[in-house]
A and B are shown apart, each in its own frame.
Chain A
Amino acid sequence: MRHFLDFEKPIAELEGKIEELRRTTDAGGIDVAEEIGRLRDKAQALLRSTYAKLTPWQKTLVARHPDRPHASAYIAALIEEFTPLAGDRAFADDAAVIGGLGRFRGRAVLVLGTEKGHDTESRVRHNFGMARPEGYRKARRLIELAGRFGLPILSFVDTAGAFPGIEAEARGQAEAIARSIEACLEAPVPFVATIIGEGGSGGAIALAAADRILMLEHAVYSVISPEGCASILWRDAAHAAQAAEALKLTAEDLRRLNLVDAVVPEPLGGAHRDPAAAIAAVGRQIAELLEPLLALDGATLRARRREKFLEMGRSGVV
């Protein structure tokens, strides 16, 4: 069963009708086939027009779509010989952050991601993609490992943000995030980060202070969730749609603000309608951006990465 978002209702209705007709095809004949074809064209057209003008809030919902490919799907499809690594060497292994060694297009790399999970059991195991300090400390450890062995780093970011919990605070959530950002910035190896779904605040930048930053067409990247922003500035979470608009959190916005380097187009109707195609497109874009970085030495990479971030926000693009 496909999960339809509220604004997809008309599309869902059409697809339901098509499904119904298909079940009666045996009894029908040529007329039914024609009708199905007609409805299918209509559904495609509707999908196209709907997705061509998604509002920032609708994009937020697409970015959070439960069927959207998550970090583990990207790793499964793009990384050969994936060898997961675990633990922060101090307290625990936090499954909200996944990572390990593997090969991308034949080249040994280190991969990292925030993983939301795809069913109840895995969502709980991955804590819905919200990492605790151990997750960021694991990320830092793996980034440093990559640096030691000259492995390029690929990260796949999809998180609502760092986990807000009592224990997380007690164990230094803020420090863990800060150190992870620092590790990203210090890595003497090429680093390409991709915002595949939700780029939620500090929990996202902790894995994304990279040389090149990609964002999927319907992904969002924001300093606070629209609901959180609305509840503070409008004193009512119900104003989330307005907040999403104001926050300028879409891929298009981020590209215009020069905070990301490229936007990867998604299949018609979003990555969740054709995960394989979405992932393949990301793979091609990563390969293209990674290639020129491979020629640079560690010191150059680090210096340019710093310069890139220091330049952000200095020119006032609107």
Chain B
Amino acid sequence: MNWISDWALPKIQTLFGAKKEVPDNLWHKCPACEQMIFHRDLERALHVCPHCGHHMRIGAMQRLKYTLDEGFQRIELPKMPQDPLRFRDQRRYLDRLKEAQSRLQMDDAVLVAHGTIEGRRAVVAAFEFAFLGGSMGAGVGEALVTAAKLAVLQDAPLIVFTASGGARMQEGAISLMQMPRTVIATRMVKEAGLPYIVVLCDPTTGGVTASFAMLGDIHIAEPGALIGFAGARVIEQTVREKLPEGFQRAEYLLRHGILDMVVKRSEMRATLARLIGLLREPERAVAEGEAGSAAAPRMALPAPENGGDAAKPPASPAA
């Protein structure tokens, strides 16, 4: 794939380009190819390197902005007990937590919003990797349960953008229990007949991968994203073998049948909108029917010989 041609953006380095002294934060160094990128070019390219196509990690808020149409609404998430174990390693967990909260202006590592994607309604949950490595404790688990409930309430698909090192050790077995808790969240969405789409971003590992993140109706990943269960170092120490090229990268998972597709950030919105449109075709047909249209809902299945039944919209899920 030729990333450069995809990202050959018009270079309009007029004023700033000529300046000799530029504040550091105006220039970014690509962690993959180490080329310098002007911040405005980087913004325009959705934080994908215009030189090599490397998809840089982005924050949860940025993710929501890149995904949802303007005017989306963030929802407030329930407060969970902070530091239930009074955990302390070299620092107190509570201090780490408070520091992350004030630095990132969020309560925990996930943001949830509802809005539209190219006009189609959706609930989106996005992980913030900068918040304690996007680790999953009770707050994150509860955010996902809340997002699922919201999706059901709004009859909207749930899309989760993951970026997480796994369980939050500092919450001990409570963080382990977020695995079943978030699996329950996925069941709520599926039982309501709603699409549940997972977008795996760099990196997604451990207990997050081994729970809700691997139970999507559709699995998408960003190019090059590291996705796996066990950490590379642990695997190397256990099997004492060199890891294969591209191991646990999105393209590797695609080859091994774990993903449906690897999608560039620039095409993510359009892809999600198209998927929602296709998966929710029966729903639209129902809506048309309710609006008084005489036309039978367009169903994918042929009508059975005895007529009638198959033309009914899918039964609404039991409460």
Contacts and interface: CB of A to CB of B under 8 A. Distances in A.
Interface of A: 162-166, 168-175, 177-179, 181-182, 184-186, 201-202, 204-206, 209, 221-224, 228-229, 232-234, 242-243, 246-249, 253-254, 257, 259, 306, 309-310, 312-318
Given A201-B207, A314-B138, A316-B84, A174 B177 contact: no
Nearest to A245: B88
Interface stretch (B117-125, B210-218, B298-306): B210-218
A246 B247 contact: no
A166 B214 contact: no
Given A162-B229, A164-B234, A169-B235, A178 B172 contact: no
Contacts of A248: 85, 172-173
Chain A interface mostly helix, strand, loop or mixed? helix
Interface residues of B, number: 58
B176 A317 contact: no
A313 B177 contact: yes
B86 interface: yes
Interface string B194-212: 0000000000001101111
A230 B89 CA distance: 9
Nearest to A311: B181
Contacts of A221: 173, 176
Nearest to B78: A314
B184 A172 contact: no
A233 B141 CA distance: 22
Interface in B216-275: 228-231, 234-235, 238-239, 241, 243-244, 247-248, 252, 256-258
Residue from A175, A179, A184 with most neighbouring chain B CB atoms (10 Å): A175
B141 A169 contact: no
A182 B248 CA distance: 23
20 contacts: A165-B230, A166-B235, A170-B256, A171-B256, A177-B210, A178-B210, A178-B215, A181-B179, A181-B183, A184-B180, A202-B179, A202-B229, A206-B210, A209-B180, A309-B177, A309-B181, A310-B145, A310-B184, A314-B81, A315-B81
A254 B173 CA distance: 8
B90 interface: yes
Interface in B36-84: 80-82, 84
Contacts of A173: 210, 228-230
Contact of B167 (A181, A223, A314, A316): A223
Residue from B82, B180, B212, B243 with most neighbouring chain A CB atoms (10 Å): B180
A185 B180 CA distance: 8
A35 B71 CA distance: 85
B284 interface: no
Given A178-B214, A202-B207, A223-B169, A257 B174 contact: yes
A182 B215 contact: yes
B87 A246 contact: yes
